[in-house]
Amino acid sequence: MDQILGKVLRDAVWERLDMLADLATRADAQSLVSVARSELPRLTEGWRAMLEKHEPDERGDCPTCSTRWHRCKAPCSVWQVAHEHLVAGGLAPQRDLRRAARRSSAAVPTQTRSAEATGRHALIPQVATH
């Protein structure tokens, strides 16, 4: 049951991102301003909430990515991706955000995805995702 719910949640998020990406490229100026005013605050709050969970602890470890047996030093992969996409801008990989074709195919485990599929830039050292 958890797998089904997880898939429903993931699909809903991907669909929302696809819709926003489509709006960004196809909407007229007035619609784009309206969408930006409503969606940018939601997106920034979402990033903030996610990044707060990955703030380093007093030892410099990411409490979310670390496990009992393996500590993940900050910055974890979540912070690296945030930096790539929110700060680095032009260095971030260019991807087609419409993933409908990929979603219809068999799911690929995270650890086997390529750097492009996971949004990682080749110049940024890879950190294991936990």
User: Is there a contact between 34 and 119 (Cβ–Cβ < 8 Å)?
Assistant: no
**pLDDT in the model for residue 105:** 41
pLDDT at 114 over 80: no
CB-neighbour burial class of residue 108 (10 A; exposed 0-12, middle 13-18, buried 19+): exposed
SS3 77: helix
pLDDT at 124 over 50: no
CB-neighbour burial class of residue 3 (10 A; exposed 0-12, middle 13-18, buried 19+): exposed
Check residues 87 and 129 and name the one with the higher pLDDT. Answer: 87
The per-residue pLDDT for range 39-49, each reduced to its tens digit, is 999 999 999 99
**pLDDT in the model for residue 95:** 55
Q: Which of 5-14, 26-35, 63-72, 85-94 has the least mean pLDDT?
A: 85-94
DSSP label at residue 75: S
What's the whole-model pTM score? Answer: 0.63
The per-residue pLDDT for range 26-63, each reduced to its tens digit, is 999 999 999 999 999 999 999 999 999 999 999 999 99
pLDDT at 106 over 90: no
